[in-house]
Each structure stands twice: as C-alpha cells, then as structure tokens.
Structure 1
C-alpha cells in the first residue's frame, strides 16, 4: 500500500512553478512540430503505437516505485477500457489530421478541448453551469474556430481542411475523456491508472490500425525520427505527466490550468520557427479569440469559489 502524505498547497504560483509550467507548455505545444519531423520515416499510426507502448511500461515502473500496481484490475477496469478506446480514436484523428494540415493549425484546433469540456460540463455537472461571462467566453472561442476554418479555405488542397476537422474532432474526444474521468467510477482511479489505461489500450489497437491502413513498418527510422519518438513517448507522455501531477499537489489547480493557455501560442511559434509555416493575420486572430474565450470561461469572477480546472493537463 502506498502512504498518503499531507501536502501543503501554496496559495500562489512562485517562480519555480511558473518555470516548470512554461517548460510544460513548450513541451506540449511543440508536439505537433515533432510529429511532423518524424513523418518522413515513421507513419502517423506507428508514431501513436510507439508513443503509447513506451510510456505504458514507464508508468508501470513508476507506479510500482510509489507502491501502486496498475496491472492489478480494480472496479475501474471496464470504464478504463472504454477510456482507452476513446483516447485511441482521439489520437488516430489527431495524428492523421496533423499529417494532412499544418502543425500550427493542428495545435490550435487541438487546444480547443477546454471549449468542449466547458460545454459538456454545463449540461452534465450541475455545479459547473456556465455564467453569462463564461457563455460569452464560449461564443468568443467558437468565433475563433469559425475564423480559423475560414482561414483554412485559402489552403491549396481540401485534404488540409479535412486535417483541421479531424484534429477538431480529436479535441472533442479529449473533452470526452476528461468528462469521463469526472462523471464515472474513473474519478476514484489514481492518475497513474488513468494514464495507463489510455496508453495500454492504444498500444494494442494502434499497431492493428496501422497494419489495417497499410502503413509500412518504420524500419528505416532516422535519427531525427528516433528523437521525435523519444520526445513524444518519454518527454510528453511520461515526464510531463509526473511534473504536472506534482504541480497539482502543491499549487492551486485552477491557476495551473489557466497558465496552460500558453500552449497553443508556443506551439504556433514553434511551427513558424522550426517548420517555417506562415502565420496569417486571420490565424493569429483565431488564436487570440480562442485563447481569450477559454480564459473567460476559466477565470474566477468576484466572489466565486476556486474552480476545478476544466483542462487537466496537456497531451
């Protein structure tokens, strides 16, 4: 049995917390760029397979060090398998969509997930019904999505718009997994078990999907692709998971969640710097509307209690 230790939660974010949060947002935001870098030698579905398999084993080992055995089934197993299935479909859409559109558009559409979480929570969680200010924030974020879609009409090929829509559907499924973890028996599962369910199911289904889609095995993986897979599987799926939940234990969760709105901003900057992708005025306007709208939804108003963050962590 693992020991439960009392942890003092600080009232505000100090310099150390903000430094870690900035690094996390940079890591999450750069993921679409890293996916693009590996595509020449590692097809998208095989990227998901490796990104899921490696951290699944790391989570098993890390949980055991903390006195938890995620391989022992408990009452959350059935819900966990469904959670893993939804996660797998989510990432199939996101990776296949990212392969079709630009990294900057992918990261922007993917981080509309808080919009869908807030909308879903309004109808399913009585304590999280939206105020007028929050409803206005949702409308602002939705306007940003419409602007981004409109900007996509200038793209030379329709498969890029299809990629946008696939990533957007992936963001909606990310919201589904977030709500599942709060509305079902999964809310009693530990964070390590929740992550393990998603990685383990994806590690089984993603290779089957890759074979069914006829995507070739990544036998000619170059160094750049290998580093990309290492970044996604160890850096994003494992290390950022540990750092994020350490921060959640020591700092107010709603303040941490608000800070993560930097992720799409940093992701689009990385896309421009590393891949040379153009950032059009309309795309920047869409980003501002989406981030501003989601900020209004999550900002605590005068007299309001500390809110539960609607976005748990980056992907």
Structure 2
C-alpha cells in the first residue's frame, strides 16, 4: 500500500524544477527544428516513439490486462483530445512564437476546472478560483488585443495564439475525460499509452492525408528535437510526474508546475531571440496569476490561514 503523500521538500523542488524546464523547452525545440521537419510530423513522431516505450513498459509490468475492456472508450476520447491538443500546438507554432505558445497552452487548468465544475459536484469552483479564471481571461484579452496594429505579422501571430488557446482547451478537456471515466482508476501507464498511441495514429494519418509529411531532413537538430520530445518529454518526464503524484500532495506539485510557462518564455527569448511586447508581458502575468489561483487555491488558502493573526 502507498504511504501517505508527503508535502513539499527539497527533492520535490529539484525534480519539479527539472521537469518544468523540460516542459518549457519543448515548444522551443519544435520551433527550432521546424525548417528541417514539419511541426506536425514532429508531434506525430514523438507520440509514436513514446507510445512504443510506454507499451514495452506495460508489457513488462503486466498490470493493465483487466482494464482494457472498461477503459477503451474513455481512452479513445482522451487520446483524440490529446491529438487535437498537439495538432493545434503544431499549427500554432507556424504562426506564433514559442513564448506565446508556452503561456496560452498552459491555460489548460482553467478549462479543466470549468469542465469539472459543471460535471462533478465535488469539484465546484471556490471564490479564489473564480477570481483566477477572471484574471486569466482578462490576461488573454490583453495579450490578444492591447496595442495590436493588425499588420500581417500581427494577424498571423493572433491566429497562432488562438491555436495555442485551443490547444489548452483540448488539454483541459482530456483531463476532464480522465477524471470522469474509469481511466481515473486505471494504471497511469495505460492512460498515457491511450493518449500517445491514438495521437500518433491520428496525427500521422492527417499529415499523410493533407500532404504535410515534409519537409523531412534528418539533421542533428531535427533528430535531437524528435528524440528529446519522444524519450525525455513524453516518456521519462510524464512517468516521473505520475511517480511523484503517488508520493507527494498534488496541491504542492501544482504550485511548482507554475514555473513551466516561465521557462517556456525564457527559453523562447534566449534560444530563439523572440521579442516580447508590453501587452503580451502584462497579459501573460495576468494569465499566470489566474492559473496559479485556480490550480493552487487549496495551498493558497492554507498559507492565508497560517499568516492570519491569532484571534
């Protein structure tokens, strides 16, 4: 039996710091390798590589046999939403910067919280969370509209930002599907396999159907990008996250995961030399504050209660 979950400690902070850096750099890697391998092919291949590795791990663990018959419908739906998420990431990075994508993608907790609020009585939103949702959508409006000149580049970036927001919605939807289906009780490797395998089939099939298999040049950058995303991000980091969830309080982990968009923006500026407009910076700050309030309201309430002077 798993021991009681622990609160935050130095080990959790160090591992989450590494995970957030890995997750923050993935959009930069896709953008960096785009001249050699199409973003859509990158996300398809990364899903296929990771699905193969997770499948081999499942065969070794043998803890999933009794779950296929009762999870396949939820698995297909979660996998379909996972594919939609990465479809919009791939398309969005053709128009907008990796920095913008890192922020808009991580609006996912907002959409999962709204979906769970509507579907699960135990997941009703609290006052702090509603405040966070308001801040998040205000930030999106500022980042989208304030100071927009409507030049051709601005219109392209606006479209890419919208795709990033749609990717966040799809990610939030897949979280709702997992929570509302038998996948919430199944081994995490099975849930991850459903998402990766279905995404691989759908994304590769779409790329072939619309003729977006190219460009495809195997350079050190393109090979490194695909292997990093498939092995490090989609396999090692996701399984590490699930391993931590079994040992630490989810609320504490959510606090640390707030660092991911910050890493994404930082890497985009440092590696790709992406510019940051003032309206995006202000909007991104509002979005990140909103995400933090929605995801970490339990932790924040505890901190406020601890700071409150004794009566």
> Structure 1 residue 185: deviation in Å?
2.6
Tell me: CA distance 1:72–1:248, structure 2 relative to 1, closer, same or farther (3 Å): closer
CA RMSD between the two structures: 2.0
Q: CA deviation at 1:132?
A: 2.2
Pair 1:9-2:5 in alignment? yes
Q: Would the aligned equivalents of 1:272 and 1:278 in 2 still touch at CA under 8 Å?
A: yes
**Deviates most, 84-93 or 295-304:** 295-304
Q: Describe the shift of the 1:303–1:160 C-alpha distance in structure 2 as closer, same or farther (beyond 3 A).
A: closer
**Which of the numbers 287, 294, 297 marks the counterpart of 1:299?**
297
- Which runs of structure 2 are paired with 1:81-120 in the superposition (5 Å)? 81-120=76-115
1:19 aligns with 2:5: no
What secondary structure is seen at the aligned counterpart in 2 of 1:230?
A: helix
SS at match of 2:94: helix
Structure 2 unaligned regions, length at least 5: 304-311
Deviations 1:146-173 (A, max 9, x none): 1111158346422221111111111101
Name 1:57's counterpart in structure 2.
52
SS at match of 2:32: helix
Q: Deviations over 1:47-75 (max 9, x none)?
A: 12211110011001222333335798321
Q: What TM-score, normalized to structure 1?
A: 0.89
Matched residues in 1 for 2:273 and 2:240: separation?
Answer: 30
Alignment of 1:168 onto 2:165: yes
Note if contact 1:27-1:236 (Cα within 8 Å) is conserved in structure 2.
Answer: yes
Q: Which runs of 4+ in 1 moved over 4 A?
A: 69-72, 301-304
- 1:292 is displaced (CA, Å) by 1.0
Task: Choose 153-162 or 45-54, whichever is displaced more.
Answer: 153-162
CA contact (8 A) 2:102 2:261 kept: yes
Q: Are residues 289 and 171 of structure 1, via their aligned partners in 2, closer, same or farther at CA, if it must alter by over 3 Å?
A: same
- Alpha-carbon deviation of 1:303? 6.9
Aligned counterpart in structure 2 of residue 244 of structure 1, from 241, 244, 248: 241
Q: Corresponding residue for 2:32? A: 37
Name 1:133's counterpart in structure 2.
Answer: 128
Normalization by structure 2: what TM-score?
A: 0.90
> In structure 1, how many angstroms separate the alpha carbons of the residues matched to 2:67 and 2:54?
14
- Greater helix content: 2
Judge conservation of contact 1:56–1:196 (CA < 8 Å) in 2. yes
Tell me if structure 2 keeps the 8 A contact 1:70–1:193. Answer: no
